[in-house]
Amino acid sequence: MSSCGNPIAEDAALMPRRFKFDKVRDCIKCKLNPGNIVIRHAVYCKDCLTPLVTLKFRRALEPLVNASSGTSKRPKLKASGSLTLGFSGGLGSSVLLDIVYKTYFANQPSVDPSGEPRGGANHPRNTNVWSSCAVCYVEVCNAFTETRDRTEEIRTALAPYPKFDFIPLRLEDAFDASWWSKVATTPDQSQLGLELGKDGLCTEGFHLAACPTLPPAAALRSYLASLPTQTAVSSAIKVIVRLLLLYTARSRQSSHLLLGTSLTTLSISLVSSISQGGGHSILEELQEEWTCGGESTTSEKLNVIRVVRPLRDVTMKECAAFGWWNSIAVVGRDKQARASAGIPGLTQDFIVGLEKDYPSTVSTIARTCAKLEPKSASRGSCILCQRPLQEGLEDWKNRISIRSYSDAKLTSDLCHLPLLAPFGASELSTPPHQPPSILTHLCYSCQATFTSRSSRGPKPAPSSIDVSGALPLSTPLPVWVSANHTRPHVAHEELVMSANGEIWYQKKQGEAENQSVVAKFLLDT
Amino acid sequence: MSTIDLTIEFGGGLELLFGNVRSHAVSLPTRVPASNSTTLSPPVSTTKPADVDYLIHHLRDHVLKERPELFMEGDTVRPGILVLINDTDWELEGEGSYQLCDCDEIVFISTLHGG
């Protein structure tokens, strides 16, 4: 076995440089043209790359277009609702936008000699797969200082796609009652907030409390500033963006929400999500069927929104080359505005570096995660991120955590309040001063978002988040957190705030439960 | 000293680091220091033909407006930046050791600007 020697001492000892492509420089697809790009050791020419990317896009999307697969091997594509497309101005979403437009919306139906569509305007051949498409952009500038509003740049970038409706959203819409009234039918209770522990140590429970009414942008900043780490801030922004898109899609009766996540960014988000405690909902990170509150009733089956990532088999390098050779404008964003601080940023650096040296490993991450299944069953959905809620989470946490102090006074001082009973389990025995806990309604990932403390000490004064003035005692929550408690089919419980700021439970009892309560008072007939 | 003229393009949002200008015309000497030093120092003994490695250092030192760490890592471009030399992936052309010719078009495309 030959040795590489000492590369510093002897130049000749360096190993010969390996090429990053297999065998020849010609395109492996057409075998005619000289290659232009190397994709996972395979060489493609410019002409073959575009159909290759389009094919991967269609292969990922089209099996999920029709509501039911039916029996036909090649069913005619017809979605049950409209289409919503999440657009960030980044590379992946710009490529996605262009492909969707050219594939499903740009082509006009063929016309007969009289100029009318062949077979008539209502002929199935002449109808689009989706009736309409809305492009949603979420502006995040109010979450960061020194970040400018790019909404108008995005509007300009969408000018070449006139058949798409542009819906500008803002991150602070998540705290805006007027936005909520447009997209949802349930009443707004945005005056509810999250009460943290006295010293910010909120490991012993989260309590819904009265929250002073703040303007949406201030509420957003207050919410982000209350989070303990930069990782938590990135994670919270990602959750808010996702739910803003989903609720907007629902308000437009959309059947599909498309995201421009490429294979590389999918691998990054999978690893990042697992490392932040989101392993239970790893399949939702790949592909999701979302209904408000997580459980669909019969009447809501039609309102299921499929979240699809059609570029999940296309690497970022393919996207970049495709975009460049097809003259697709990419607006681009600052690193700060991409909310990639903390674990997401570190994961991105790791995986992008990995892709450079070992291009095939990135697809291995995504394919391996697609085979994973959660170990335990789900019970409903998390009220914050609306992903599946793990069964027995509290029991598991109680088993692995040291959660009691020997000194009762210290306990009281540090934890503000003792651990509460599960939500709605014993309302009658709950002391009147004790606010309701939402602990059991949060998934592990969201609990970690609120509680994880950096091993390097507390979060430094946020340079990227402008916190003007002192934080209020309770932190505002996104509007859907409290609003979803009013949904009778999710939980027969309701949070109501009275005029004097008290929070009440209302619980609708079932008929059997009613009968058992009054049974001893009933007269035998 | 003879020079070579190059057209440099930036895409995928990378132009934000270069004053938001997508296209630049750059002239480089045909022989450059082997150390890739771009400072105007006395003539060095060890030189090499101008290559992409030197071009990257030149762009960082003379064209880049902000945050060099988002453009370079070590002696090469940051992972996640695709480099095309005359419309061909630089991995097919020998990456940084590709010797530049007059009128070459070099494109840098960032893939790191989100999904």
A166 touches chain B (CB under 8 A): no
Strand-strand pairing, B105-110 and B3-11: parallel
Does the beta-carbon distance from A320 to B109 stay under 8 Å? yes
Any domain includes A298: yes
Chain A positions in Cβ-Cβ contact with residue B10 (cut-off 8 Å):
none
A360: domain CATH number?
3.40.50.620
Any domain includes A251: yes
Distance CA B42, CA A449 (A): 56
pLDDT digits (tens, 9 = 90+) for A51-89: 999 999 999 999 999 887 777 777 788 899 999 999 999
Whether ipTM exceeds 0.90: yes
DSSP-H helix ranges across A259-387: 263-275, 282-286, 316-325, 343-357, 360-370
Task: Record the tokens describing residue B113, joined without a space.
Answer: 């600007």
Partners of A208 in the beta sheet? A194
Any domain includes A242: yes
Question: A17 to chain B nearest CA, in Å?
Answer: 10
Cα dihedral B85, B86, B89, B91 in deg (nearest 10)? -50
Distance CA A235, CA A273 (A): 9
Domain count of the fold of chain A: 1
Task: Report helix, strand or coil for B25.
Answer: strand
Chain B contacts in chain A segment 487-506 (CB below 8 A): none
Question: A100 to chain B nearest CA, in Å?
Answer: 15
What is the DSSP code (8-state) at residue B51?
Answer: B
Does the beta-carbon distance from A323 to B109 stay under 8 Å? yes
pLDDT digits (tens, 9 = 90+) for B59-94: 999 999 988 888 999 889 999 999 999 999 999 998
Task: Name which residue leads in pLDDT, A378 or A433.
Answer: A378
Distance CA A368, CA A28 (A): 27
Distance CA B111, CA A90 (A): 9
pLDDT (0 to 100) of residue A88? 92
Any domain includes A522: no
Q: Going along chain B, which residue ranges are E strands?
A: 3-11, 23-29, 31-33, 47-49, 72-73, 76-77, 81-85, 88-89, 105-110
The number of residues in chain A equals 525
pLDDT (0 to 100) of residue A429? 44
Task: Record the tokens describing residue A243, joined without a space.
Answer: 């739910």
Name the fold adopted by B3-110: Ubiquitin-like (UB roll) (3.10.20)
Q: What percent of chain A shows pLDDT beyond 70? A: 68
**B-side interface with A, Cβ within 8 Å?**
11-16, 70, 79-80, 82, 84, 87-89, 91-92, 107, 109-115
Task: Report helix, strand or coil for A247.
Answer: helix
Per-residue pLDDT for A464 more than 70? no
Per-residue pLDDT for A519 more than 50? yes
Has this prediction a pTM greater than 0.90? no
pLDDT (0 to 100) of residue B63? 93
Task: Report helix, strand or coil for A175.
Answer: helix
Q: What percent of chain B shows pLDDT beyond 70? A: 92
A103, burial (CB in 10 Å: exposed 0-12, middle 13-18, buried 19+): middle
A38 touches chain B (CB under 8 A): yes
Any domain includes A343: yes
Distance CA A36, CA A26 (A): 8
Strand-strand pairing, A378-381 and A493-497: unpaired
Chain A positions in Cβ-Cβ contact with residue B83 (cut-off 8 Å):
none
Any domain includes A499: no
Any domain includes A422: no
Chain B contacts in chain A segment 313-342 (CB below 8 A): 316-317, 319-321, 323-325, 330-335, 338
Q: What is the mean pLDDT of residues A507-513?
A: 73
Question: B76 to chain A nearest CA, in Å?
Answer: 12
pLDDT digits (tens, 9 = 90+) for A192-217: 566 655 434 444 445 555 566 788 99
Does the beta-carbon distance from A356 to B13 stay under 8 Å? no
Residue A71 sits in which domain range? 19-109+124-400+436-452+473-486
Cα nearest neighbour of A36 on chain B:
B88
A22 touches chain B (CB under 8 A): no
Any domain includes A279: yes
Chain A positions in Cβ-Cβ contact with residue B113 (cut-off 8 Å):
89-91, 330, 332-333, 338
- Residue A70 backbone class (left: φ over 0; alpha: ψ -120 to 50; beta: rest): left
Per-residue pLDDT for A244 more than 90? yes
Q: Going along A96-233, which residue ranges are E strands?
A: 133-139, 164-170, 192-195, 207-210
Which residue carries 């015309």 as its tokens? Answer: B25
Chain A positions in Cβ-Cβ contact with residue B46 (cut-off 8 Å):
none
pLDDT digits (tens, 9 = 90+) for A134-191: 999 999 998 887 788 999 999 999 999 999 999 999 999 999 989 998 888 666 555 5
Distance CA A381, CA A79 (A): 26
Chain B positions in Cβ-Cβ contact with residue A316 (cut-off 8 Å):
80, 111-112
Task: Record the tokens describing residue A496, joined without a space.
Answer: 């109501």
Best mutation site among B70, B90, B91 for testing chain A: the one with the most A CBs within 10 Å? Answer: B91
Distance CA A348, CA A262 (A): 13
Q: What is the mean pLDDT of residues A313-341?
A: 83
Task: Name which residue leads in pLDDT, A458 or A108.
Answer: A108
